Structure 1
Amino acid sequence: MAQGVAVIAEYGNDGFRKISLEAVCEGKRLASELGQNLTAVVLGAEVAEGAAELAKYGADRIIVADDAQLKSFQAEPYANVLAAILQETEPSMVLMGATANGIELGARVAAKLQVGLANECTGFSLENGRLVATRPLYGGRVIAEVDIEGTPQMASVRPNMMKIEENEVPVEISRFAVDTGEVKVELLEENVVVSSKVELTEADYVISGGRGMNGDDFAILEELADLLGGAVGASRNAVDAGWRPHSDQVGQTGKVVSPKLYLACGISGAMQHTAGISTSNTIVAVNNDPDALIFRVADYCIVDDLFEVVPAITKEIRAIKG
């Protein structure tokens, strides 16, 4: 009989991703309400030692699939191994971060297990021992409560939506014998870009620029983001113009963000963009067009020249910080 909650935690060169810790803490909350155990699953190469950190966040059991074949994320072998782990352990619920890797992996595993999957969830509750997921639809215009069919019930968690709290418990750590199964795609070469920048989807402060930046010089936004310990984003128009890479794009065809503060600079506010920022705690918009659509969703609206406003904000914050 399926029982317990499992969380798939992403481990990289700098340790666990913030969203993975959020998912583990939320998994612990659900497991505690059910009176059951939380199992954390870690896949990768040379991850066994670092995996023990998850005990601090409430994992009762940690399963490590540690193998050289899993050194780089590849959806096919990862899905084969993860599906095997879930079939053996039989959890009733599975959570993972709504990252690029997590969404692709979750879809493949759900298809293998023939169960439902709810993506980009912002909250969870329990009804009669079953998981009910809350997720925004239609760019945040509708908030739906979703009953996920099948066992295990699978869901991905939107970054910055869950609290991270330490709750250390005695932990059992076990290794899973890795069998990647039949893999039809071979990784020939990998280019790894190392960046000290905060991951856009996990940043507490996001400063984004749009067409109003008038070019690829985002220096004033970079300066403010660095001061706040945040990240720089961009609208689709700015990305299409070649001013920023697609990895910085915020919106329906880019990344969904949920920061404490979202500062939109020179962004018109098309639905494609606002769909990606609807769960931000506070939205501040700077635009010299008083009729800009972005003002309809902003909590604070500044009708002025962004090249005057942003440096002034930076100056004031720097003064406050001393």
Structure 2
Amino acid sequence: MAEVLVFVDHVDGAVRKPTLELLTLARRIGEPVAVALGSGASDTAAVLAEHGAVRVLTAEASEFADYLVVPKVDALQAACAAVSPSPAAVLLPSSAEAKEIAARLAVRIGSGIITDAVDLEAGEQGPVATQSAFAASYTTKSRVSKGIPVVTVKPNSAPVEQAPAAGAVETLTVSFSAQATGTKVVSRTPRESTGRPELTEAAIVVSGGRGVNGAENFHIIEALADSLGAAVGASRAAVDAGWYPHTNQVGQTGKSVSPQLYIASGISGAIQHRAGMQTSKTIVAINKDAEAPIFDLVDYGVVGDLFNVVPQLTDEITARKG
């Protein structure tokens, strides 16, 4: 069976959930070979093996942390060359950095690329990816017809499944290109932790929009999110008004999310916002305008004032948990 390269997203050896989802998808089309780069790469092996990686290729050069993107492209290109005859595909999570890595890699190796896939399956002529196109108005199935398929996959598109494998650790030899040192990281500022899950990886997202009517009212949205163990999102209108940080914006110009449950409070449902959340498995909207476009795509809708509905919902959830 052909091997499938999986780019490992980790922080000092702690593997992030989207990578484990990629291993599930990789097993559908071949044998997963994980590629872990940077500090702590070797520490990822045990978890990756538990979730199906037959091999773990590691490289811990300082270039991966000191410079942007290109060193990781060099490493993935080396990983492609290390698989004989060639990998069935290269899978990466659909983060901003990983999509840039994927695009550069595809150009390097002369291959086609598919981004933001929400499913992946084996096909007679290669892996077939499912995507949501035109703000999720259409579902498409496509495959790469030239070279090694390079595919980025949205978080929460597949379950995390344990499937113990050998996970043999091998050192990946990487020759860095002249472009690798072109953009240097000169400083880092730790992001303040809220204790909530990462927005793009969360199983539940609670978002607020223009109807929240001010930064001082976002605590209502946060309280509901905390009762559910959810991440907090915001519409572009709320972000542009300065009510919530841009890092929490959901939409075409913000982050794309695909949680099991998405709750939209005070969000009208403009196409820009829908593009970033319409692939959510279950969508609930709370809006006092019964004609709001958001109600066209929801599974459950509540026509009512969020200042009355959301606190009652939070209290009910808290009571049931108690």
Aligned to 2:74: 80
1:137 aligns with 2:133: yes
**Residue ranges of structure 1 left out of the alignment (5+ in a row):** 32-36
Q: 1:75 to 1:277 in 2, by over 3 A?
A: same
Aligned to 2:171: 175
Correspondence 1:304-315 to 2 at 5 A: 304-315=304-315
Q: Is the 8 A contact 1:262 1:280 kept in 2?
A: yes
Residue 228 of structure 1, CA deviation: 1.1
Correspondence 1:1-322 to 2 at 5 A: 3-13=2-12, 15-31=14-30, 37-71=31-65, 74-89=68-83, 90-182=86-178, 183-195=181-193, 196-217=195-216, 218-322=218-322
Looking at structure 2, the residues matched to 262 and 169 of structure 1 have their Cα atoms a distance apart, in angstroms, of: 34
Residue 92 of structure 1, CA deviation: 2.0
Q: Is the 8 A contact 1:46 1:67 kept in 2?
A: no
Q: Is the 8 A contact 1:52 1:173 kept in 2?
A: no
Residue 122 of structure 1, CA deviation: 0.9
Aligned residue identity for 1:6: L
Looking at structure 2, the residues matched to 314 and 225 of structure 1 have their Cα atoms a distance apart, in angstroms, of: 8
Looking at structure 2, the residues matched to 188 and 120 of structure 1 have their Cα atoms a distance apart, in angstroms, of: 30
Q: Is the 8 A contact 2:28 2:122 kept in 1?
A: no
Residue 29 of structure 1, CA deviation: 2.4
Aligned residue identity for 2:209: G
Post-superposition CA distance 1:19-78 (Å, at most 9, x none): 1100011112221xxxxx321111111321233320000111110111222236721221
Q: 1:312 to 1:299 in 2, by over 3 A?
A: same
Secondary structure of the 1:227 match is helix
Looking at structure 1, the residues matched to 41 and 122 of structure 2 have their Cα atoms a distance apart, in angstroms, of: 32
Q: Is the 8 A contact 1:45 1:69 kept in 2?
A: no
Q: Is the 8 A contact 2:73 2:105 kept in 1?
A: yes
Moved over 3 A (4+): none
Secondary structure of the 2:127 match is strand
Post-superposition CA distance 1:158-204 (Å, at most 9, x none): 11010111010222110112333212122222222152321111111
Q: Is the 8 A contact 1:52 1:62 kept in 2?
A: no
Q: 1:71 to 1:112 in 2, by over 3 A?
A: same
Aligned residue identity for 2:298: A
Looking at structure 2, the residues matched to 47 and 252 of structure 1 have their Cα atoms a distance apart, in angstroms, of: 33
Q: 1:203 to 1:73 in 2, by over 3 A?
A: farther
Q: 1:98 to 1:53 in 2, by over 3 A?
A: same
**Residue ranges of structure 2 left out of the alignment (5+ in a row):** none
TM-score, normalisation: structure 2: 0.94
Q: 1:88 to 1:194 in 2, by over 3 A?
A: farther
Instruction: Percent identity, please.
Output: 39
